[in-house]
A and B are shown apart, each in its own frame.
Chain A
Amino acid sequence: MVRNTGIAVLCRAVFVCFVFSLLTVFSIDVNPASAQSPAGRDVSQGESLNGAVPGNTTGGVSDSEFWRQVRSGAAGGLVPLVQSQGDEWSRWRGPLQTYGGWILAVVVGIILIYFAIRGRMRIEGGRTGMVIPRFSLTQRVAHWVIAILFVILGLSGLAIMFGRFVLIPVFGKDGFAAIASLSLQAHNLFGPLFVPAVIALFITFLRGNGFKMHDLKWIMKGGGFFGVHASSEKYNFGEKSWFWWAILTGIALSVTGLIMVLPGLGFERGTMQIANVIHTAAAILFMAVGIGHMYVGTIGIEGALEGMTRGTVDVNWAKEHHDMWYEQHADEATPDVAAAEAQAADGKV
């Protein structure tokens, strides 16, 4: 093991010497003018003109020119040995981790505080036993596919991003290495499935999600979260905003994710670094609102989840949360739950 390490160090030293020799030689060949003064005189004779270094200490090339070529890879067509943009990427990534983590923590905190104060929002009039078809089978399949991907990609993404700070204290470095490895593989494998899932979500939920003037009234009444009834059509302002938020961040995640997962398509390192920063920011924004959506759709509001599992909602739930939509579909209310579910499955919603 010791012997292997020694050989590796020796090889690395030889390689570095070789590369720098090449750079020095090629930098002179590629840009011979740099070795001479504008007047065509050799600056190695001790005359310093226009940035050229006297004394030929760097082979007649100034330090700045030397490092410029190291960074650009211009010397002899070699790849860049120092990529300055990587420093900028690091400068962005740190704050993104810090502020991103705080954003997600604050969202979870607000939800917990709201739940502690307000509790579950019950159906005030109680359940009637009468239901109305609300979501088609196609919509529900599109929703749950992206929900499953959200959980897998979200957890694996969080482990990749925050695991070093959160998981190492719990599982140790070796344990975290295993979790990081599985998270990376899961993220890369399931990531591409997210692209068609976003497209399917857009197509199946587009109708009814355009903003209208009466959405302002819903906003003014606090969306009904503070005890005042807020009228709404099939989708309220919050749901519409979440839809467009998910689509826009979903597009950003899809495009930047594909850039990173398909390096074979010829994207440059700089492009992938920008993609990484955008991907991280979009993921945090997507998850922050998504966590709120999950809360509202499950434990936050009684009766909401059924719409997405069975395709039907209770009549009183519809009246209390989507009264304008209920007025349009009141004649479809039925005590025959199975028939209403079948109607929803057929897309008659």
Chain B
Amino acid sequence: MNDANQSGHAIPWFTDFAEGPLWYVAATVFVFGVLWRIVGLLALGRGEDKSVPKQSGMAGGIKAILLHSVPHGGFFTHTAFHVIAGYMFHIGLFALLFFAAPHVDFLRERVLGFGWTPLPDWAFIVAAQISFAGLILLWVRRVADPVIRRLKDAHDYIGSGLTFLVMLTGCFALQESRPVLAGIHMFTVDIWLIYFPFSRLMHAFTFLFSRYYTGAFYGRRGVTP
């Protein structure tokens, strides 16, 4: 179990476990869990809307997807904070997830069989800093804002906390000097993947459906949501 990597450091069994059996279990739960949730959601369908359509529901749905991606309707002062911090976090996370060199290597070798050009090191670090800044800002506001604090429950904190841990352990492993650090990062990723389908992290896939549904519902009635 104690093989040695190229740098000569012993690879602990923990890293083998996190990158081996646990990774396969986590990936399986993630893929089938997400599919199960999405198919289940679509299979629910929606009741017949007997209202007389004033406008196209589809146009309303598309409009809602686009409008809800930017501050609109005079709400900028109230939404600027979470819009800016939200974009910082999500764009940074996207860049980290799909364009960090170690992740591109992992996806090529373990998942897809092909890769693409990763970000240079400096851009990867900047993306990580922007993402961390966004997450910390959103987190602090979630605790400090009296309205948002009352709207949130444990699942919100578990989901964002796990995401923070995944990012933090990834930051710890940046130097790629110790296999155990990569193992800890991989372990948190595995837990995150297993938790994902059963949590609000699913919004990464469902936000388009929910925005479209709301937009179509109101659009049919001639209202811009």
Contact = CB atoms under 8 A, between A and B. Distances in A.
Interface in B113-146: 125, 128-129, 132-133, 136-137, 140-141, 143-146
A141 B146 contact: no
Contacts of A345: 144-147
A141 B148 CA distance: 13
A133 to B, nearest CB: 11
Contacts of A186: 168, 171-172
Q: Is the interface of A mostly helix, strand, loop or mixed?
A: helix
Contacts of B144: 137, 140-141, 144, 309, 311, 345
Interface in A301-316: 309-311
Nearest to A196: B133
A233 interface: no
Interface residues of B, number: 25
Nearest to B10: A174
Nearest to A156: B172
A141 B140 contact: yes
Interface SS majority for chain B: helix
Nearest to A261: B125
B132 A178 contact: no
B177 interface: yes
Interface stretch (A48-56, A162-170, A187-195): A187-195
B46 to A, nearest CB: 36
A144 B132 contact: no
Contacts of B147: 342, 345
Given A341-B146, A345-B145, 10 more contacts: A177-B177, A178-B180, A178-B181, A184-B175, A189-B125, A189-B128, A309-B143, A311-B146, A342-B147, A344-B146
| Closest 6 A/B residue pairs (Cβ) | A182-B172, A341-B146, A185-B174, A178-B178, A144-B140, A140-B144
12 contacts: A137-B141, A137-B145, A149-B136, A178-B180, A178-B181, A181-B175, A185-B173, A185-B174, A186-B168, A189-B171, A341-B146, A342-B146
